[in-house]
């Protein structure tokens, strides 16, 4: 923030002209958006038939299709389960974000890991059922929001520790072969498009496995996402390790700390803190990349929105469908980058 001028008074005449031009360009867009959202809107309590007459946002469509957009083809008499799972996963993400940026009570690293494991397991059980009298629901029906949250949080949760291990393996100099293998893996994973791996996991793997032992698509996709993001996290963390002054490692050694304490208590915490902005960057990327799973037949929010306005009765409401999921992605990404900014500010303050 520091280098950005906060004052609104333009510094010079050219700056004034540019500002005015930008404002003029923005005004019609803002006016059009306002007209669409407020002036011409068909409100939820209006009859749906009104949508054909007015040009504004059609709320009856959104209220009618909200269940479909957020939870897709999940059996609608069991909607409380994906609802609960989504709430749990959202709460987990918000808590972790606030905790990282220094708000609220801190559960500690072990507590946090335990919390993540518990919440992810609970979400899996809620979605899949099959225990405690809950009707089993196949993973192909986990559509929309819960599958997006599960895949993005699940892949971040498991890719991060794997990334730490890979970064350490690549940076250490005691075993050349391990370092070389880790480097090979990271470079390969970053060099192959994720879609290739997704396709291989979903369509080629089942042909090679004996029939009946095939991985369900959601699991195959999760594995592919974890393996991929681990490589990116590894590079972020390696950057943090590289940025540490050499004296840190030497000082720790001079204190007679064991190798494990040197890494776990001196080097890694500093490296991760330094790498946090780029880690947050990777997390946002991973979150948005999750939408790629659409191409292998998993219906995330974009796919369910498209289902909603493919209903013959609502085919003119494409904009509303994309508006709803756009709003969701805007809010969730805004939250992530807010956490990122807080972290940066905290880092700069130290």
Partner 1 sequence: MSRGDLPAKEADPHISGEIGGGPAILSQISYDVRVYRYGDDSGVDPHTHSPRTDSIMKPFLSCLLLAAATLAAPAAFAGAVLDDIKSGDRLICLVNPNSPGFSVPDSQGVFQGFNTDFCRMAAAAILGDADKADIRGIGFSDAMKTLVARGAHMASRSITRTGTRDADAGMTFVATTFYDGQGFMVPKSLGVARAADLAGATVCAEDGSTTLLTLADWFGDRGMAYRVENIADKTARLEAFFAGKCDVYASDVTALNSDRLLAAAPDDYVILPEVISNEPLTLVTQPDQDLESAVFWAFQVMLNADRHGLTSQNVEAARADLGSQPQAVARLLSSDGAATEMAAKLGLPGDWAYQVIRQVGSYSEVFERHLGAGTPFALSRAGTVNADAADGGLMYPYPIR
Asked whether position 309 contacts partner 1 by CB under 8 A, the answer is: yes
Contact 145, 67 (CB under 8 A): no
Q: How far apart are CA 267 and CA 231, in angstroms?
A: 20
Residue 307 has, within 13 A of its CA and on its CB side, a CA count of 20
List 29, 49, 110, 207, residue binding partner 1 (CB under 8 A): 207
Q: Which residues contact 325 (CB under 8 A, 6 or more apart)?
A: 69, 301, 302, 305
- Which of 85-93, 172-180, 277-285, 288-296 is the region at the interface with partner 1 (rule: CB under 8 A)? 288-296
Q: How far apart are CA 318 and CA 316, in angstroms?
A: 6
Contact 288, 329 (CB under 8 A): yes
Report in angstroms the alpha-carbon separations of 25 from 15, 38, 160, 190: 15, 21, 43, 40
List 48, 50, 73, 345, residue binding partner 1 (CB under 8 A): 73
For partner 1, give the closer residue by CB, 11 or 313.
313
Asked whether position 312 contacts partner 1 by CB under 8 A, the answer is: yes
List 203, 255, 258, 338, residue binding partner 1 (CB under 8 A): 203
List 57, 60, 74, 237, residue binding partner 1 (CB under 8 A): 74
Asked whether position 49 contacts partner 1 by CB under 8 A, the answer is: no
Instruction: Look up residue 139 and give its DSSP letter.
Output: G
Take residue 324 and report the two structure tokens written for it. 């709803």
For partner 1, give the closer residue by CB, 238 or 299.
299
- Which of 18-26, 160-168, 304-312, 329-337 is the region at the interface with partner 1 (rule: CB under 8 A)? 304-312
Asked whether position 297 contacts partner 1 by CB under 8 A, the answer is: yes
By the criterion CB under 8 A, which residues form the site for partner 1? 64-65, 67-68, 71-76, 138, 140, 143, 202-203, 206-207, 211, 214, 294-297, 299, 303, 306-307, 309-313, 315-316, 318
């Amino acid at each position: 923030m520091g280098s950005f001028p906060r004052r609104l008074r333009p510094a010079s005449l050219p700056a004034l002209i540019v500002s005015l031009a930008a404002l003029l360009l923005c005004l019609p867009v803002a006016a059009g958006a306002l007209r669409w959202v407020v002036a011409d809107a068909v409100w939820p309590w209006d009859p749906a038939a009104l949508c054909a007459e007015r040009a504004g946002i059609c709320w009856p469509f959104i209220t009618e299709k909200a269940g479909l957009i957020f939870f897709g083809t999940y059996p609608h008499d069991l909607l409380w389960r994906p609802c609960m799972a989504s709430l749990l996963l959202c709460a987990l993400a918000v808590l972790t974000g606030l905790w990282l940026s220094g708000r609220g009570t801190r559960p500690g690293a072990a507590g946090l890991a335990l919390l993540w494991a518990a919440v992810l397991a609970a979400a899996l059980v809620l979605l899949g059922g099959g225990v405690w009298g809950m009707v089993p629901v196949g993973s192909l029906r986990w559509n929309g929001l819960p599958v997006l949250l599960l895949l993005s949080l699940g892949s971040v949760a498991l890719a991060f520790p794997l990334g730490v291990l890979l970064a350490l393996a690549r940076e250490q100099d005691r075993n050349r072969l391990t370092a070389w293998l880790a480097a090979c893996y990271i470079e390969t994973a970053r060099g192959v498009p994720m879609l290739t791996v997704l396709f291989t996991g979903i369509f080629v793997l089942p042909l090679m496995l004996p029939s009946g032992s095939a991985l369900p698509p959601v699991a195959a996709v999760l594995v592919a996402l974890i393996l991929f993001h681990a490589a990116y996290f590894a590079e972020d963390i390696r950057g943090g390790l590289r940025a540490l002054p050499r004296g840190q490692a030497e000082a720790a050694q001079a204190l007679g700390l064991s190798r494990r304490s040197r890494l776990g208590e001196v080097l890694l915490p500093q490296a991760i803190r330094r790498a946090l902005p780029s880690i947050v960057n990777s997390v946002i990327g991973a979150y948005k990349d999750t939408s790629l799973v659409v191409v292998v037949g998993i219906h995330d929010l974009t796919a369910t929105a498209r289902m909603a306005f493919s209903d013959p009765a609502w085919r003119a409401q494409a904009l509303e469908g994309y508006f709803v999921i756009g709003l969701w992605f805007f809010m969730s990404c805004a939250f992530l980058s807010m956490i990122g900014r807080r972290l940066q500010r905290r880092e700069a303050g130290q």
